[in-house]
């Protein structure tokens, strides 16, 4: 067997030519990158093995369509997660800095203008002892926190950053994200019960109370947007906004209401009843120590990121900017993330301004203010639809 050049092993194919391409007719940028990375790495390994054992089976197996697809999918998951993770850490950093400046402080100072504070926090919580109290219900205690963190990370990864940067793009994409988003309060309630602690129990109850007050208007608002766009598909909603106007113009009431509801959904100040650290010593998180708590905090920021991203998708045109034509294809992901961070800035602003609402006020706010506003918004949209404007 003669020497084969490395160029015969590393060939950059179009991933869409692969018969096992998982995204149908849609081009997927991170999958493309992952595919090319694996073609390079796998090709290199295959070439090396082929040098040692010419004509073996493993080399051809490594660069066969199926195997490249599997490894490309693994790398694809990694890329998607890393981008969301870094984006969330950046929003955490933004919160620290902006909140600091709003209070006339400097904010965090650790490395890279304070960005490395997140890393320092992660390392610190990682090195803490894994304390589990004696009298907790261990199974529920561990499962609920895992599910809260898991669903948060899952929905954060499921938010598409653009037409070419998505995990799944199918016709009920919005619905499944909202369904998973609304799951956390159930786990919080069960977790508060499982921890055998009065603070946690009150925190869990409050999470449930919070959920019954904001979930209805929020779903009505999402339904309104879906009615206006005529589709559950996130990509379709964004393109419908690009074709007409951003939906915050006809639905300004809905936008404001959704903003407050999404603050409540991600349990941030002024709706952080469940973890009211002043009254309830971190509420339902009281008994979670070390890395569990660190991951809960990270999940909180994942949920904040998702709430902002949903606001951007539903009301601010997603990854498209009007009036720049084909330039929209240049860097839609960056545009989307910038819009998300701008939305997050608004959340930080609210956090810097307002105090936490009382438990008796939240139901009033949810049912007497948010729900009527959502219904009024729905009526406006229905009138616009019947009037033939949209």
Partner 1 sequence: MAMKYLDKYPKDTAKGLWVVKPMWTVMKLFAKVIPRRSMTIMYPYEKEWIPDNYRGRPGLQFDKCVGCGLCARMCPTACICLVETTDDEGKKVKRPQVNLGRCMMCGYCAEYCPVDAMTVTPEIELAEYTREDLIYGPRRLRFEGVNEMMEVHIEEHLISNVQKGILDQPTSAFEVDRPVLEEAKCIGCQKCFKVCPVGAIEMYEAGVNEKGKPKKIPRIDTDKCICCKNCVDDCPKSCLHIKEVL
The smaller minimum CB distance to partner 1, of residues 106 and 113, is found at 106
* Spatial contact of 20 and 36, defined as CB atoms under 8 Å apart: no
Q: Is 252 in the site for partner 1 (CB under 8 A)?
A: no
The smaller minimum CB distance to partner 1, of residues 201 and 357, is found at 357
CA–CA gap between residue 95 and residue 89 (Å, rounded) = 10
Q: Is 78 in the site for partner 1 (CB under 8 A)?
A: no
The smaller minimum CB distance to partner 1, of residues 84 and 347, is found at 347
Q: Is 66 in the site for partner 1 (CB under 8 A)?
A: no
User: How long is the chain?
Assistant: 390
Give the 3-state DSSP-derived string for the chain, with helices as H, strands as E and coil as C.
Answer: CCCCCHHHCCCCCCHHHCCCCCCCCCCCHHHHHHHHHHHHHHHHHHHHHHHHCCCCHHHHHHCCHHHHHHHHHHHHHHHHHHHHHHHHHHHHHHHHHHHHHHCCCCCCCCCHHHCHHHHHHHHHHHCCCCCCCCCCCHHHHHHHHHHHHHHHHHHHHHCCCECCECCCCCCCHHHHHHHHHCCHHHHHHHHHHHCCCHHHHHHHHHHHHHHHHHHHHHHHHHHHHHHHHCCCCHHHHHHHHHHCCCCCCCCHHHHHHHHHHHHHHCCCCCCCCCCCHHHHCCHHHCCCCCHHHHHHHHHHHHHHHHHHHHHHHHHCCCCCCCCCHHHHHCCHHHHHHHHHHHHHHHHHHHHHHCCCCCHHHHHHHHHHHHHHHHHHHHHHHHHHHHHCCC
Shortest separation between residue 321's beta carbon and partner 1, angstroms: 24
Neighbour tally for 324: CB within 10 Å = 10
Q: Is 352 in the site for partner 1 (CB under 8 A)?
A: yes
> Pattern of binders to partner 1 over 189-228, x per CB under 8 A?
----------------------------------------
Q: Is 349 in the site for partner 1 (CB under 8 A)?
A: yes
Shortest separation between residue 372's beta carbon and partner 1, angstroms: 9
The smaller minimum CB distance to partner 1, of residues 106 and 128, is found at 106
Shortest separation between residue 105's beta carbon and partner 1, angstroms: 5
Q: Is 365 in the site for partner 1 (CB under 8 A)?
A: yes
The one among 101, 124, 128, 198 contacting partner 1 by CB under 8 A: 101
Which residues, 6+ apart, have CB-to-CB distance to 55 below 8 Å? 1
Residue span binding partner 1 (CB under 8 A) among the ranges 245-253, 277-285, 298-306, 344-352: 344-352
The one among 26, 44, 83, 102 contacting partner 1 by CB under 8 A: 102
Residue 98 token pair: 């902006």
Shortest separation between residue 374's beta carbon and partner 1, angstroms: 14
Q: Treating both helix axes as pointing N-terminal to C-terminal, what angle do 65-102 and 138-158 enclose, rounded to 10 degrees?
A: 100
The smaller minimum CB distance to partner 1, of residues 257 and 340, is found at 257
The one among 20, 368, 379, 383 contacting partner 1 by CB under 8 A: 368
The smaller minimum CB distance to partner 1, of residues 105 and 113, is found at 105
Q: Is 353 in the site for partner 1 (CB under 8 A)?
A: yes
Shortest separation between residue 62's beta carbon and partner 1, angstroms: 54
Shortest separation between residue 187's beta carbon and partner 1, angstroms: 29
Shortest separation between residue 360's beta carbon and partner 1, angstroms: 10
* Spatial contact of 149 and 184, defined as CB atoms under 8 Å apart: no
Question: What residues from 28 to 47 belong to the interface with partner 1 (CB under 8 A)?
Answer: none
Residue span binding partner 1 (CB under 8 A) among the ranges 128-136, 156-164, 231-239, 365-373: 365-373
The smaller minimum CB distance to partner 1, of residues 173 and 270, is found at 270
The smaller minimum CB distance to partner 1, of residues 152 and 257, is found at 257
Question: What residues from 103 to 142 belong to the interface with partner 1 (CB under 8 A)?
Answer: 104-106, 109
Which residues, 6+ apart, have CB-to-CB distance to 355 below 8 Å? 269, 270
Q: How many residues bind partner 1 (CB under 8 A)?
A: 17
The smaller minimum CB distance to partner 1, of residues 188 and 307, is found at 307
Q: Is the peptide bond before 66 cis (omega within 30 degrees of 0)?
A: no
Q: Is 77 in the site for partner 1 (CB under 8 A)?
A: no
Site for partner 1, rule CB under 8 A: 100-102, 104-106, 109, 349-350, 352-354, 361, 364-365, 368-369
């Amino acid at each position: 067997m003669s020497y084969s050049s490395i160029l015969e092993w590393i060939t950059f194919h179009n991933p869409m030519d692969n018969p096992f391409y998982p995204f149908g007719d849609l081009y997927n940028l991170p999958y493309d990158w992952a595919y090319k990375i694996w073609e390079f790495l796998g090709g290199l390994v295959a070439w090396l093995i082929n040098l040692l054992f010419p004509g073996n089976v493993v080399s051809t197996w490594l660069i066969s369509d199926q195997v490249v697809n599997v490894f490309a999918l693994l790398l694809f998951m990694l890329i998607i997660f890393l981008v969301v993770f870094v984006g969330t850490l950046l929003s955490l950093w933004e919160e620290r800095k902006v909140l600091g400046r709003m209070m006339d402080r400097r904010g965090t100072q650790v490395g890279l203008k304070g960005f490395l504070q997140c890393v320092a926090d992660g390392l610190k919580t990682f090195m803490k002892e894994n304390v589990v109290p004696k009298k907790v219900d261990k199974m529920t205690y561990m499962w609920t926190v895992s599910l809260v963190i898991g669903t948060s990370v899952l929905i954060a990864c499921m938010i598409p950053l653009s037409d070419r940067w998505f995990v799944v793009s199918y016709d009920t994409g919005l619905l499944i994200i909202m369904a998973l988003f609304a799951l956390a309060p159930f786990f919080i309630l069960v977790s508060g019960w499982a921890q055998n602690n009065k603070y946690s129990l009150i925190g869990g109850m409050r999470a449930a109370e919070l959920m019954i007050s904001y979930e209805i208007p929020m779903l009505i608002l999402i339904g309104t947007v879906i009615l206006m766009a005529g589709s559950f598909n996130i990509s379709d909603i964004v393109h419908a906004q690009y074709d007409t106007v951003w939906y915050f113009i006809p639905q300004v009431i809905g936008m404001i209401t959704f903003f407050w509801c999404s603050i409540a959904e991600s349990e941030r100040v002024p709706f952080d009843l469940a973890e009211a650290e002043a009254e309830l010593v971190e509420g339902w998180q009281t008994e979670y120590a070390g890395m569990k708590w660190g991951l809960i905090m990270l999940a909180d920021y994942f949920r904040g990121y998702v709430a902002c991203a949903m606001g951007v998708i539903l009301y601010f045109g997603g990854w498209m900017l009007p009036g720049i034509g084909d330039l929209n294809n240049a860097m839609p992901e960056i545009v989307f993330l910038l819009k998300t961070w701008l939305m997050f800035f608004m959340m930080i602003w609210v956090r810097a301004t307002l105090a936490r609402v009382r438990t008796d006020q939240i139901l009033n706010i949810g049912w007497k203010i948010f729900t009527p506003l959502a219904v009024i918004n729905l009526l406006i949209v229905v009138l616009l639809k019947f009037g033939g404007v949209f």
